[in-house]
Structures are given as C-alpha cells and as structure tokens.
C-alpha cells in the first residue's frame, strides 16, 4: 500500500476544500467580487502548486521513516530550495492570465520553512502510526490534531497573502490589491480554523475514520 500517496491524496482534498471555501467567502465581499474573476485562475493554480509542494514533503517524510530517522531542519531547508522549481512552473502557467507576479522570497521563505518543518513532522507521525496499524484518532488527541492542521493552513494563508501583494492587477483593479490581500488573509484564517476543527471532529467522531489507516 502506498501510504504516502494516500496521505498526499487526503492533503489534496483538504487544500482543495480550503480553496473552495476561500473563494466562496470572497464572493460575499462586494468590493473584492469585482476583482475575483481576475484572481480566481491565480488561486486555482496556487492551490495546485501547494498540493505538489506538500506531496514532496510527504514523500520525503516517508523516506525518512523508511530510513528510521525523523526528518530534521537540514531536510526542511533542502526541500525549501527544491520547491522553487514548482514556483517556476507556476509562474509559467500564470503568465497566460492578465496578472503579473514576482514571488517575494524574502517574505515567503521563512513562512515556507515553518510549514515544511511542521508538515514533515505531521506526515512522519501519521505515516508511522499507519505503519504500526494505528488509526489517526489513536495517534493524535483531537485538540492536538486540530491545532496541527490549523497551524499548517494558517501558514498557507500567510504565504498566499504575501504572494498576493506581488500580484499586479490591470487598470483600476490595481487599487484593490491591498484590500484584496487583507480580505484574503482574514477569509483564509477563518476557513483554516473551521476546516481544521471539522477534520479533527470527523477523525474522532466516526468509526469509519478507520478508513484513514491504509494497510
């Protein structure tokens, strides 16, 4: 069983739900609704980028588990450099749309490094528990699992906000950029708390949560 692949699939579903909730909430903010058609393709490509980056983190955590050595700071820094290739492909895709982006690495890298470190630790613990036959609800207290998920999603939100500051919108929409960045962070933080709480409750509430433990 490809446990790392299964975990990457669960993470993809989580991030896609996070993106859908963010976009839906932004539609309710009238001034931002005007700019949303211009940035929706950016948001969709951004979540695809993050899914790929997280999958790399999960695969590296799985490799660490196979070698019997928990992932550390050196591996996190290595991954931080490697994900810039994903960035380059993302920028190539974004070039098809009427927005311009320059990734502000000075602001983003510290956030990314934190997220990579925490993602490695969480993925390692999940994969280790699955290998030993334990379910998620047996490996994590509900409050601990919720906190870990929320922290990862909030770091994602902070990175997305930092990236949104570099988005160059055309014409009159450029005046909305700062308001968009503030609204985006507020909406994503709220969605992060809600989604993390729902996921943690689901894992601990249902006997069917055992399906989250691949054999």
DSSP state of 166: T
Instruction: Please enumerate in sequence order all residues whose Cβ is within 8 A of that of 188, keeping only pairs 6 or more positions apart, or say none.
Output: 18, 22, 153, 154, 156, 157, 160, 161
Domain range list for the chain: 3-212
The pTM for the full model equals 0.87
pLDDT in tens, the chain (215 residues): 799 999 999 999 999 999 999 888 877 775 666 666 666 777 788 899 999 999 999 999 999 999 999 999 999 999 999 999 999 999 888 777 766 778 889 999 999 999 999 999 999 999 999 999 998 899 999 999 999 999 999 999 999 888 877 766 655 555 566 667 677 889 999 999 999 999 999 998 855 444 444 44
Task: For the chain, report the end-to-end CA distance as a whole number of angstroms.
Answer: 6
Burial pattern 121-137, b for ≥16 Cβ within 10 A else e, equals: bbbbbbbbbbbeeebbb
pLDDT value of residue 99:
66
């Amino acid at each position: 069983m490809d446990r790392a692949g299964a975990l990457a699939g669960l993470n993809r579903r989580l991030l896609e739900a996070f993106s859908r909730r963010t976009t839906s909430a932004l539609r309710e903010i009238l001034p931002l609704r005007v700019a949303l058609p211009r940035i929706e393709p950016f948001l969709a490509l951004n979540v695809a980028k993050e899914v790929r980056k997280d999958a790399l983190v999960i695969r590296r955590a799985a490799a660490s588990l196979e070698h019997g050595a928990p992932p550390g700071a050196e591996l996190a820094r290595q991954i931080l450099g490697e994900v810039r290739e994903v960035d380059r492909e993302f920028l190539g895709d974004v070039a098809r749309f009427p927005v311009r982006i320059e990734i502000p690495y000075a602001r983003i890298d510290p956030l990314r490094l934190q997220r990579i470190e925490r993602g490695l630790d969480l993925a390692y613990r999940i994969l280790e528990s699955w290998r030993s036959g334990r379910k998620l609800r047996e490996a994590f207290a509900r409050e601990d699992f919720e906190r870990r998920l929320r922290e990862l999603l909030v770091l994602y939100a902070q990175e997305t906000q930092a990236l949104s500051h570099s988005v160059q919108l055309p014409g009159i929409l450029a005046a909305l950029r700062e308001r968009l960045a503030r609204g985006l962070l507020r909406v994503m933080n709220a969605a992060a708390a809600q989604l993390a709480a729902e996921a943690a409750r689901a894992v601990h509430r249902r006997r069917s949560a055992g399906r989250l433990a691949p054999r």
